[in-house]
Structure formats: C-alpha cells, structure tokens
Chain A
C-alpha cells in the first residue's frame, strides 16, 4: 500500500527541499507518494525538472499562501 509522506522543506536553505526529497526518496518504497513543502519558488521549477530527468513521476504543484506543495511518486 502506497503511503504519502510530507517533507517539510520550509526554511531549509541547506541542504534545501530538493536534496531533502532525494534523501527521503532513497528511504521510500516504489509506489510511495511524497509531498514536498517549500517556501522557495525555485523548488517549483527545480524539483519537477529533476524528477523527470531521473525518471520518477511528477504528480503536480500547487501554491497556498506562499508555500509550494510539490507531489512526486517513486517509480524505480
């Protein structure tokens, strides 16, 4: 059963939301869905770009009160 994990990358400049996602994906199972929270606009561009490049599934982005919610599914 796929589980949804929240990665709270708000206020994380270093290592930052994308590095946090990469780290958590490693600990996840294929099929798991993850949602990254970031208050850095750059994440909304960088995360989908990396997810597509590496071959996981990008599920979408939404913005709520200055926080970007970026959803990803681990596929390999």
Chain B
C-alpha cells in the first residue's frame, strides 16, 4: 500500500509521523510505504512570524530541517508536484519523475495574494512570510508616530493573527514610549471585530479600554499610496501613516492549475476529509474548502483523524473511515506582549474565551518551542 503525502508543512508532517508510528510493522514488512514530496528542505514554524515582525525572535529560531522532523522509514523528496493525474493514481513533480500511489493526501497549504488588491502590495506591511515580516520589523523600528491601520482580507489563514498583531502592537508602541503618538485603528470584514462572536464580545471592549478604534463591515477594495488612504468595498475611506495588512489568501497555484479547486481550495468532505468525488484522495490543512479556520491546529487535528483512518484502512482492509473529524480547532490569542487567552471550538460548540492571563501567554511561548515535538508526533 503506497501512501503519498504532498506537502511537508504542519498537516503533512504530523500525518506522516502519525502514520509511520501506527504502521511501523507494515513499513518494516514492506506492506506499506510512506512517501512525502515537498517544495522545501526546511520547515517553517509560521506562527513565529508574528514575533519576528516585532523583533521578538530571529529567523533561524523558526526553521528546522524537514528530513530531521520525520520518523525513520518515511521517504522524503524535495520535489514539488506540478501535475496531478488523479484518474491514473499518480503525480508528476518538478524533477520530471512520476510518483504513483494507492492513497494520496494533499496538504499544500495557502498563500497570501496581496497583489490582487490595487495598491496593497506596494503600500502595506505584512508578516505572513519571513521576508515581509523582516521588512515590517525594520519599518516599525523607524516609525515614530501617526495612525497605524490594521486591515483584514477574506479568506486568510490564522483567524487570531489580526487581533494578536493589534494587541501586540499596542504594547510594542507603549514599550517604546510612543503610546501617545500612535493611534491604532483596526478594520474587519464583518459586523464585529472577530468572526467568533464570543471572541468579539471580549476583544471589542478590550479595544475600547486600550484606546484602539475600529471599523467593521470593511472589505479592502484598494489602497491609494499617494494619498495614503485605504478604501473599502462598502464605500468608506481610512487614512493611514502605516498600513499593516492581513491580505486575502488562495491555495497554491498548482492546485488551481490542475483544476482541483477554484482559488486553490479543494472541495473536501468536512468529516471524512476525502476530496469530493474521490475515495483514495484526502485533503488536510489550509487547502481544503471546509468552512473552518485555516490554522495549524486545524491541520493538526485533521492529520490525527486521518492518520487513524488510513491506518485502519490498511490494517483492517476497510474502506469506510473509523473516525469523523469533528471540526476541532484550538487557537491561542495573544492579548498583548505578556498576556494571552485561547479559543477552542468544533462544528457543534462555539468557544468561550476566558480573560487573558500571563500564564496563558507563557504557555503559548512554551508551545512555540514544543511545536517541534508536536510536528514529530510526540505531543
């Protein structure tokens, strides 16, 4: 039984290690084979970019060698997939080599597409890649005061990042003695400051307490760099001195080019995690079209469910999954530079965030290190 995993990020890595443990006997006996194809030999811990943009960590702390994160027995190649031939159970990668499979898992993630909004890429700062986070850090260091606007596109990965960067910027400017010279303004696409109602109920008043202003029902239309104005689809204008954007995302281009899903979002069954219309192709992480948070924890819990199901298929010769993915998501929420809370929810139960504490902040800081154990499947 050949299992082929495309993508060595959070979802793909956790799944590969989970399967390698469950199928150790089958791997040794040559009855199962796990192959991973990825686009990079490095693994980036993306949540760390938030801290990088504020000068709280360095790039080297956010990377590990991908091969070193994988259990022995997993075959790993840096060979990005270019074409998917799902009817023939094979993919062809950049090297020209084809890889066939019995079970395929796609976990290629998502990317921001700032260039799709007029003026955005040229006039805003971002923190969703190493390069942009470093540029944002340098810009923040030079910034001496004015109106800082944080704006949010749809859809985007990490639903908590817009709130987190706003609260963290508040404390960052306060620490630099610039609190009186900086006005933070936050815009959000729907009619409250966060998609989760209970999170919005907490964050809205917190903004008020900290003097952060906000505008809701604000979907980014364009940026006028000369006038330093951000315009919304709803018809309003917001002037800025410094614009920080969490732009809209798409899945990877290879997904769109192969016609697997519009904008790179693959139609996926929300509990079984198979690609709609296919029984041996599964999808996890950001690239699904499941109406759920695009977050590392989502990819993690999906990978655990899928690992159990694929292992059961192989060990017991069954085709129906033994477990459903219940929509579980767990997200930390930094509420400043020294306090945090969290939100946990699934398809049935909304979250109920508690007041931020220092202990939860230190728990998130510890998790930022423990992540590497989690990726190895040890946590």
Contacts and interface: CB of A to CB of B under 8 A. Distances in A.
A53 to B, nearest CB: 5
Find the residue from B234, B291, B329, B347 having the highest chain A CB count within 10 A. Answer: B291
B233 A14 contact: no
B190 A16 contact: yes
Interface in A30-63: 42, 46, 49-50, 53-54
A31 B238 CA distance: 30
Interface string B248-277: 100000000000001100000010000000
Contacts of B262: 27
A14 B217 contact: no
Contacts of B263: 26-27
Contacts of A19: 154-155, 189-190, 195
B196 interface: yes
A46 B248 contact: no
B189 A54 contact: no
Contacts of B293: 14-15
Given A8-B291, A14-B196, A53 B217 contact: yes
A15 B197 contact: no
Contacts of A17: 291
Interface string B336-347: 000000010101
A50 B195 contact: no
Interface residues of A, number: 23
A22 B219 contact: yes
Contacts of B197: 13, 42
A12 interface: yes
A70 interface: no
B232 to A, nearest CB: 9
B292 interface: yes
A11 B348 contact: yes
The residue in A13, A16, A42, A54 that gathers the most chain B C-beta atoms within 10 A of its C-beta is A13
Contacts of A42: 197
Interface in B279-334: 291-293, 327, 329
A26 B262 CA distance: 11
Contacts of A50: 190-191, 217
A46 B190 contact: yes
Interface in B337-369: 343, 345, 347-348, 350-351
Classify the secondary structure of B's interface with A: loop
B159 interface: yes
A19 B219 CA distance: 10
Given A42-B197, A54-B234, A15 B217 contact: no
A27 B343 CA distance: 29
A22 B347 CA distance: 20
Contacts of B217: 49-50, 53-54
A53 B292 contact: no
Contact of B233 (A7, A9, A54): A54
A23 interface: yes
A18 interface: yes
Contacts of A53: 217, 234
A14 B189 contact: no
B190 A14 contact: no
A5 to B, nearest CB: 10
B219 A16 contact: no
Interface in B218-249: 219, 233-234, 248
15 contacts: A8-B291, A11-B291, A12-B291, A13-B351, A14-B293, A15-B159, A15-B195, A15-B292, A15-B293, A16-B190, A19-B155, A22-B190, A42-B197, A49-B191, A54-B219
Interface of B: 154-155, 159, 189-191, 195-197, 217, 219, 233-234, 248, 262-263, 270, 291-293, 327, 329, 343, 345, 347-348, 350-351
Given A12-B347, A22-B189, 14 more contacts: A11-B347, A13-B351, A14-B196, A15-B159, A15-B195, A16-B195, A16-B196, A18-B189, A18-B190, A26-B263, A42-B197, A49-B217, A50-B191, A54-B219
- Shortest 10 CB-CB distances between A and B: which pairs? A11-B347, A12-B291, A23-B155, A22-B154, A16-B195, A15-B195, A14-B293, A14-B195, A20-B291, A14-B196
